[in-house]
Amino acid sequence: MRPAAVRGHLDALILAVLEDGPLHGYAVIEALLARSGGALDLPTGTVYPALRRLERAALLSGTWSSVGGRDRRTYTITRAGRHALAGQRAEWTEFATVVGSVLLPAGGEV
């Protein structure tokens, strides 16, 4: 999948994978890859800045821990993040419905 196709949806995708529980940054990348069947193979340079942005917006909270002598930040979705995700899901559903009504053939079959 083209990285440009994810633009505008990355925050919702990250919030969605963190809805299942706390993850460190690289595990977020792995979860996106797994849940998308390999289609969302996003570089760290895309995901880590988004994690920091979501944390600054109080949609995520982060804590540092040391694992095997390496520091890593684990992210948890906040109540505000869950609320934002619900709104983004509603927007996505409406968007997909409208775009589908235009792009799909009149009979609804591809």
Sheet holding 23-24, edge to edge: 23-24, 70-77, 60-67
Share of the chain above pLDDT 90, in %: 79
Reported as a single tens digit per residue, the pLDDT across 46-82 is 999 999 999 999 999 999 988 888 899 999 999 999 9
- Per-residue model confidence (pLDDT) at position 108: 58
- In this structure, which topology does domain 3-91 adopt according to CATH? Arc Repressor Mutant, subunit A (1.10.10)
Q: Domain extents for the chain?
A: 3-91
Predicted confidence band of residue 7 (pLDDT cuts 50, 70, 90): confident
